Chain A
Amino acid sequence: MIVARGLTKTFGAKVAVDDLSFTVEPGRVTGFLGPNGAGKSTTMRMVVGLDRPTAGSVTVNGHSYASSPAPLREVGALLEARALHPGRTARNHLRWLAASNGIPRTRIDEVLDLVGLDAVADQRVGRFSLGMGQRLGIAVALLGEPPVVVLDEPVNGLDPEGIRWVRTLARELAGQGRTVLVSSHLMSEMALTADHLVVVGRGRMLADCSMAQFIADHAASYVRVRSPRPGDVEALLRGRGLDVDRHGDELQVQGMDAAGIGDLVGRAGLHLHELTLVRSSLEDAFMTLTADSVEYAAHPAAQEAQAVR
């Protein structure tokens, strides 16, 4: 279990992490989301004692990371930036890490096999691709069989097979009762991996809730309705107090389920060409929530062009 209380980190005048309090529970995958520069990596670095909090605290298993006698056997972390000497082989990198925490050497071959690097274990890591580096980072995280696993952008640089592997791995680790905290920019991937979400923006907590709750709260689903007479259908539905958005000949209806809308339109003698429940995605919910807290926003080209005129 990871517990943050009032966690704050400032770099000069810039507040990177602002009074974050959250608990990462064991037995489930907690997704850590936020736009670039939201303070995710800084938070994760404070979890593993690399950065000192300016205020507040974060504990792992009830104590600070730095006070653990064998931290690699308690918390396994893959941090975003590479922490490898390019001239050292993968096996030697794992060897010194294992030695430092009293982890038996047999475990080295186990993790190399687990992440699929056994064939290149004796190559210098400077020659590794981004994906191979990520796999080695995951091997490092799992070396001590820790009950808490922290993965910052684990699927960066991985191919589709690798992405699926990380997803399965994260779910397996959680299934074994471990605490798993994963950050990712890939919303579609996160939607498949995480059970619970912690969302931050500009260093502040935006949401701490289950995946389903988060989507329901921040991007409502709607029913897509197409009809040869959209104007009549729109008037009918509005007349019943439903929320209708018209996009060309497509109507987006909220406030009633698809069956109810179908019955209503049918009784009025109108025809439908489409009646579809459109579930909102994690991405939609995330975009809605973080729209105001995006640090580095790109502006749509069309708006820019208009602004120039």
Chain B
Amino acid sequence: MIDTVALDPDRHVPGVRRHPRAADTLHAEWLKFWSVRSTGWSTAMLFVLGAGLTTLVCATSAAWLASGEADESPASFITWGLFFAQITALALGTLIVTSEYGTGMIRATLSATPRRGAVLAAKAVVLTGTLFVAGVVTAFAGYLGGNWFLDREGIGIALTDDGVLRSMLGSGLYLAGLGLFAMAIGLLVRHTAAALSIGLALVFVVGNMAFLLPGTWGEWVAKLLPGNAGSGVATPVPFNPELLAPWTGFAVFTAEVAALLLTGWLVFRHRDA
């Protein structure tokens, strides 16, 4: 008679007498996220584009902004690089899902953690946490770099000026939301190139083209599109005066992301891996 191995899942792992918790799923997603090169590269690109381009545009525009001929506020330029940092946030959000489908990793992930909601929640926390911190750090670095040039022309901006601190935190919030937006598209589409194209097109192409729509309804469509609604919170004074008020816009953006994410989750929950 063969001695049958008991079925207690704890028994064969020396020293372990507990069930995995949400923290373990989170830890696993964190390790996964940072153990591929694309994450490091994308995050570095986010910083370089965000902080670097803000500094660069402030350096080249400071004299003009101080001259009195300027028809824009210097405060519009202090988070200017964010426009390009959006690309990397979309890329990270897309890849956190589609890289798993592209490589077959999704099967390993769901074998290890069959509770799909837990997987999705852990991914969302890792992604938004990273993007929020990266967004805030990048915005501050851009402020410090850009403001150094504005200060030299005597048009420096204080952190306590209206909307400046809000735009620093807002950069983190907006990029985090944009990441979730891309992640939801990734869940629905599952292919990296397709999902990324859709995300970029919605934010950069459709978002800007929509302002060409005629009439009041056209104006509202443009205002309510995710990129246009959400980005207002990340700049002290927007270039475009037609945008929604910062927090109103961000609330609309959050609702849109939540709806898309919910759709993605419903599809993901019932799909064969």
Contacts and interface: CB of A to CB of B under 8 A. Distances in A.
B13 A107 contact: yes
Given A52-B270, A69-B20, A26 B5 contact: yes
Interface string B5-16: 111011011111
Contacts of B35: 88-89, 92-93, 95-96
Interface string B88-121: 0000000000011001111110111111000000
B102 to A, nearest CB: 9
A133 to B, nearest CB: 11
B25 interface: yes
A73 B10 contact: yes
B32 A102 contact: no
Given A87-B36, A102-B19, A62 B7 contact: yes
Nearest to B6: A147
Contact of A147 (B12, B24, B38): B12
A176 B13 contact: no
Contacts of B272: 45, 50-52
A71 B16 CA distance: 14
Contacts of A97: 28, 108, 112
Interface residues of B, number: 45
Nearest to A28: B2
Interface string A63-89: 001111111111001010111111111
Contact of A100 (B14, B15, B20, B100): B20
A104 B24 contact: no
A95 B2 contact: no
A177 B107 contact: no
Nearest to A102: B20
Interface string A43-54: 001001111100
B114 A103 contact: no
Interface stretch (A138-146, A217-225, A241-249, A272-280): A138-146
A27 interface: yes
A157 to B, nearest CB: 16
A131 B2 CA distance: 32
A143 to B, nearest CB: 9
Contacts, number: 143
A178 B12 CA distance: 11
B111 A71 contact: yes
B36 A88 contact: yes
A295 B249 CA distance: 58
B267 to A, nearest CB: 14
A82 B114 contact: no
A104 B12 contact: no
A177 to B, nearest CB: 4
Contacts of B31: 92, 95-96, 99
Contacts of A168: none
A228 interface: no
A65 B10 CA distance: 16
Contact of B9 (A68, A77, A93, A107): A68
Contact of B24 (A81, A82, A89, A101): A101
B146 to A, nearest CB: 35
Nearest to B270: A52
Contacts of B18: 102
A238 B31 CA distance: 73
B273 interface: yes
The 9 closest A-B pairs by CB, nearest first: A100-B28, A145-B12, A66-B114, A27-B2, A92-B35, A83-B108, A73-B9, A96-B31, A69-B19
Interface of B: 2-7, 9-10, 12-16, 18-21, 24-25, 27-29, 31-32, 35-38, 99-100, 103-108, 110-115, 270, 272-273
8 contacts: A48-B111, A50-B110, A67-B114, A83-B107, A93-B35, A96-B28, A102-B18, A147-B7
